Structure 1
């Protein structure tokens, strides 16, 4: 190894770390150390994080022995203060002493304002072994730990009690005490396969030593890949396909140091229970992966990850099968018990469940959802009977034992119970799809009734909460109004529903007996919802000015807004866009000072060839684009209007708009107003000139 290149290893050994936050803790530990080194100007080759249930570690390779040395100019007092009658004053002597130089070495220079004392001082050169303990201590203090704990009589705090600390610079231990533990070069192997200390010969030997002697796969990503491959292979051996949930995969990886996949089985009679309930029980309570056949149907198998290579794996499997049986029996019991009552009976229980203290019960909410769903259905020409029925039953399953035990079964339980009750297919599918989309990028409801109920539910919530004046601020959004707003926009745009948001909000507000904000909340809610479009289009890499150009129209129909935004975005890419946007800006400024009420152009008053040409082209363009506007073919209309660029440029180059003759001036203003009105049919194109 070069004398100038060194490697550093820090490992914090603890009691079992929380599995759901292990990866986050590891990533942040690495990021904090990396950021601290960069702040010091220290270069390095690579940073490798390690994380397992009992350890957080980071290996940094290619480090120098010291921080970089650099020269810094230090300014002192003004020269007229530092010297009196050519002799140094106490101010000069103090400045020299502070910077470790003699008075004779002092020089003066101008800092751009006044003549001052100055000296060049070298900084850096500190030994990294002296700095690293502080950097590690700082990094650990910055970790995102919701609740820190103390242990024993110590005052130190961390997410779990700390058992050992490794601080190695190449082969040398960096002596220090962090979180009450003295550093060394000893780690610990697997709790069962290698329950002893292991001496680490050098920083870079860490990973191999733990793997070969310690029976620990320290690298989280490698261990996760190992788990994934084992689970997939085990699923194939069972004649099916293992379903790997990413969050469950991370959690299981955080629970084991030496993963061993084992397959278990449960009784086929449990397959009569909704698969989602069985999967939820296996996943949430036991951390099992489920297996499906080629058609996606659940198989009576599960895959678990042991943290040990057992001499008798059959016993481990039998133990897991014994544990899962009562869990699945509970799910079966809840399912059979719930089916003894119809969803309409379960719905009655909602009369005692509060939705929001000032907005009534969940029963009241379903009444409003039903009316609003019927209203939306009629607007779309859909079956309002199905929409109203689904709306009334939408929250009924929240009163069932199944959903009480398995919260993620809401909607899904209603689907199965509605099916069992003999409800229409559109109705019970709507009960399942009402919560879609649940997150960014999630699928939308596949049925019209499902989409209608999803809209009605969210709009009712938005109207009610805004009606109380509870506008989301910062990260405080207890009713998920941001997510609800985006879901409404997505459904309306992606399903192609031609609906006006103001109409929907007005109808929703009317359904409440009284709201503190009254109808004032409609504008607030509407603006809040439409503002979500900004982030939406940012993700599509559409410039902000494009949305602003459309927003200037004050349109409340999300589908129409999206059509216009996509059209303006395409226009924005055209070579003619810049000039036409600038021309529209110029026209807007002129008309702001000289308002025009009549855009009729008198051909007899057209004198200059450039204005006659523009008038002819504007009239011809109007004939072509008006049918396109009627069909909302905005992209095609703007493409047609782009052909006006040359005529517009020539007009402004050759024609004096503000002519002295008032009739001539008025006619030219009418021509420009007519030109602007064609673009305004789509958006305020002048907004595009802002960033040009």
Structure 2
């Protein structure tokens, strides 16, 4: 089988940096999928992208689609011919659609029936003939939210397209796209090598553009260059460059030929909270900042240029002139904000509406301060510190700095609280109550901060559900799903045993008559715990395990998680399937009982058979050990201990008839099974698990 390399490059005006990754991944995936669907074999798929181009190189693409037998199934024979054997309209229509007569159709006999079929040998098709359609389909599937038009052209793309290169081997694949005719011509760096560049074959693409066009098309290569240059420049001034992955991913898509330059700024700006300066450098200018060995900001920044300037000092000076007024603004805001105490800003929160039916931010602050204090008492935290942090936690929203840099909410609150002489943990809790802000973000370190973070989320969840505005599949304006996920992380990863049902009831009392929706308490708890399902399924935890734990209704996230981990360990034991089957059998027997089994006690003297006597003794011993383990919530050890009952349980069902005609004996055996069931239910409903 002959193969050739395939290359497509779409040349454009500068593409949005944040969109590049999704575009090139989609283009490559669509082209690969189309080749596979057409049964055209291919090798490695490589992607290249810069601000001015999207390119995909696919190695070892088969030069033709293999010949194959195409079979189309038509109507069933009984519907294809009438009683006289004449073809029906259905048979005639099928034949016409295939371009043949009914007599030229074949018959297919299977175990499920007989049909008319049309069989045709499709000859091999050159891959080069199929590629244009595949390219058009791939381009049409690109994730472009807002395409634009240019000049008087009838088509639209993310940015105007200026050239198209499509090569299969050393040959051009003839086609047109966005008004551009395919060729073997690419273009180099806009400033350093702006002319056209001939690409003889796909394999030469990357190196030719590097040497002739001064363009590095490989994203990872550019990324490595940026990291290396940035680290070296930081090392020269005795510091360490902080390279955030998100910023790096954006910067790498802003340049075709990265050149790092180091600038400086006045040390007086270091009196401003470093988060303000870092935010300005990263968000506004796409600069990397430098810190010392203790993580403190140094008066330097690193910018990545898209050109090798003959006068880099001028470029650096220009960047320093741009950053200086931004830092001056931050300095002004910080100094102006310090003139008013944080606690004095609280009055202004009464003029800021949180939600029309839930009141102002002043109302919310009062509620979460009370709730944080109650939660602090439940998790062995300082109630006064949690309460005070709750009173102050939203006050910085009215500061000039947060108005200019909204992403600094909480952070500035801590700085202003410390400046005002507030307790250290109270100040830190103000910052921490926003944590975690996103998946994988850090969690609060202080207990007051943890209590306040939980209180803020619970108040929002209960409040929004309480006014009947629970999120839908399409809308979640108050980010309640994110709040619920964060709440679970706060409880589980911080290892605090907190009953959410109780916390929700506290929140409802604080909201009072504002809660008008019925069943709010139940719906909020179910909504929060339902976030566990998606999390566990991502980890590969079986749905049956999650259902088994949900069946016993644990209301503490940490307790819920421990039970899931224990049941996950249990299902790997050899005894698990047999015990799951036994629990199903117990459940079925007890569900058919017409008496209140829970009100019965096991009478040892009424145990007649050896098997039931053995089970009672084994069960009594296991219960004693399990109760001790349950005190420390060691559910894994409990289930391991209960797994040892398998042989005794099997012997019971093999040798004892539960529903005996003798009422006293029957009830005693039902009580025995109920006792067995309740012992397993102390961890989870094992009957929900897969069984033999």
**TM-score, length-scaled by structure 2:** 0.95
Q: Structure 1 residues 377 and 110, CA, compared in 2 at 3 Å: closer, same or farther?
A: same
Matches of 1:96 and 1:684 in 2, distance apart? 59
Q: Is the 8 A contact 1:659 1:665 kept in 2?
A: yes
Mapping of residues 431-442 of structure 1, within 5 Å: 431-442=430-441
Are the aligned partners of 2:185 and 2:198 in contact in 1 as well (CA < 8 Å)?
A: yes
Q: When the two structures are superposed, what TM-score results if normalisation uses the length of structure 1?
A: 0.95
Q: Summarize the Cα distance change of 1:681–1:86 in structure 2 as closer, same or farther, 3 Å threshold.
A: closer
Structure 2 counterpart of 1:70, from 58, 68, 72: 68
Distance in 1, matches of 2:164 and 2:376, equals: 65
- Residue 12 of structure 2: which of 14, 32, 41 is its match? 14
Please list, as runs of the form range in 1=range in 2, the aligned pairs for 1:254-333 lying within 5 A after superposition. Answer: 254-333=253-332
Q: Does structure 1 residue 526 correspond to structure 2 residue 525?
A: yes
CA distance in 1: counterparts of 2:339 and 2:105, whole angstroms: 95
Select the residue among 39, 42, 45 that pairs with 2:43: 45
Say if 1:577 and 1:642, in contact at 8 Å, map to a contact too: yes
Shift of 1:382: 2.5
* CA spacing shift, 1:148–1:388, aligned 2, 3 Å: same
The answer to whether the aligner puts 1:26 opposite 2:27 as a matched pair is no
User: Is 1:648 aligned with 2:646?
Assistant: no
After superposition, the C-alpha distances for 1:162-207 in whole angstroms (9 at most, x for unaligned) are 1111122222222222112222221110011101111211222211
Question: Is the contact between residue 509 and residue 519 of structure 1 (CA under 8 Å) also seen in structure 2?
Answer: no
Which moves more between the two structures, 559-568 or 184-193? 559-568
Pick which of 289-298 and 495-504 moved more.
495-504
1:181-192 map, 5 Å: 181-192=180-191
Counting only pairs closer than 5 Å after superposition, residues 280-679 of structure 1 correspond to structure 2 as 280-515=279-514, 517-518=516-517, 520-594=519-593, 595=595, 596-679=597-680
More displaced 10-residue stretch of structure 1: 317-326 or 551-560 = 551-560
Mark the CA change 1:129 to 1:691 in structure 2 (over 3 Å): closer, same or farther.
farther
Do the aligned partners of 1:599 and 1:671 also contact (CA within 8 Å) in 2? no
Q: Over the residues paired in the alignment, what is the CA RMSD in angstroms?
A: 2.2
Relative to structure 1, is the Cα distance of residues 277 and 106 closer, same or farther in structure 2, using a 3 angstrom cutoff?
Answer: closer
Q: Does the C-alpha gap of structure 1 residues 83 and 258 become closer, same or farther in structure 2, counting only changes over 3 Å?
A: same
Q: Which moved more, 1:71-80 or 1:605-614?
A: 71-80
Deviation, structure 1 residue 75: 3.6
List per-residue Cα deviations over 1:20-75 (Å, max 9, x = no partner). 11111111111111122222222111211111011111112211222222112334
The alpha-carbon deviation at position 286 of structure 1 amounts to 0.8
| Distance in 2 of aligned mates of 1:420 and 1:89 | 91
Contact 2:465 2:517 in 1 (8 A): no
State the alpha-carbon separation in 2 of the partners of residues 84 and 670 from structure 1. Answer: 69
Equivalent residues, number: 689
Per mean C-alpha deviation after superposition, the further-off stretch among 541-550 and 429-438 is 541-550
Q: Is the 8 A contact 1:83 1:92 kept in 2?
A: no
**Residue number in structure 1 paired with 2:56:** 58
Once residues 361 and 390 of structure 2 are traced to their aligned partners in structure 1, the CA distance between those partners, rounded to angstroms, is 12
CA distance in 2, matches of 1:95, 1:500: 67
Counterparts of 1:197 and 1:239 in 2: how far apart (Å)?
43
SS in 1 for 2:182: strand
* Counterpart-to-counterpart distance in 2, 1:97 and 1:405: 71
2: CA distance, partners of 1:684 / 1:390? 41
Given that 1:617 and 1:644 are in contact with CA atoms closer than 8 Å, whether structure 2 keeps it comes out as yes
User: Is the 1:267–1:300 Cα contact (8 Å) retained in structure 2?
Assistant: yes
1:65 and 1:128 in contact (8 A); partners too: yes
Q: Is the 8 A contact 1:545 1:691 kept in 2?
A: no
**Does the 8 Å contact 1:10/1:166 carry over to 2?**
yes
Aligned to 1:152: 151
| SS of residue paired to 1:304 | strand
Question: Could you give the per-residue CA deviations for residues 227-284 of structure 1, whole angstroms, max 9, x where no partner exists?
Answer: 1121112211221110001111011111100001111111111111111111000111
Query: How far apart are the structure 2 equivalents of 1:519 and 1:105?
Result: 69
Between the aligned partners of 2:321 and 2:350, the Cα distance in structure 1 is 40
Distance 1:557 1:194 in 2: 63
Q: CA deviation at 1:87?
A: 8.7
* C-alpha distance in structure 2 between counterparts of 1:522 and 1:129, whole Å: 63
Instruction: Give 1:76-95 correspondences, 5 Å limit.
Output: 76=74, 81=80
In structure 2, do the counterparts of structure 1 residues 578 and 87 end up closer, same or farther at CA, with 3 Å as the change threshold?
A: closer
- Deviation track 1:591-640 (CA, whole Å, cap 9, x = no partner) reads 00114134422233222221121122122222322233334333322222
Provide the rounded CA distance (Å) in 2 between the counterparts of 1:69 and 1:603: 79
The Cα of 1:111 is off from its aligned counterpart by 4.8
| Long gaps (5+) in structure 1 | none
TM-aligned CA distance change 1:617 to 1:315, over 3 Å: same
Q: For the structure 1 residues 440 and 86, does the alpha-carbon distance in structure 2 shift closer, same or farther, using more than 3 Å as the test?
A: closer
Shift of the 613–51 alpha-carbon distance from structure 1 to 2, 3 Å rule, reads: same
2:287–2:303: 8 Å Cα contact kept in structure 1? yes
1:77 is displaced (CA, Å) by 5.4
Q: Relative to 1, partners in 2 of residues 1:640 and 1:261: Cα closer, same or farther, differing over 3 Å?
A: same
Give the 3 Å change call, closer, same or farther, for CA 298–107 of structure 1 in structure 2. closer
State whether residues 430 and 449 of structure 1, in contact with CA within 8 Å, keep that contact through their aligned partners in structure 2: yes
Partners of 2:273 and 2:488 lie apart in 1 by: 32
Contact residue 416 and residue 428 of structure 1 kept, 8 A? yes
Per-residue CA distance 1:624-670 (angstroms, 9 max, x = gap): 22233334333322222222111111111111111122222122112
Aligned equivalents of 1:495 and 1:207: distance in 2? 49
| Superposition deviation, residue 79 in structure 1 | 5.8
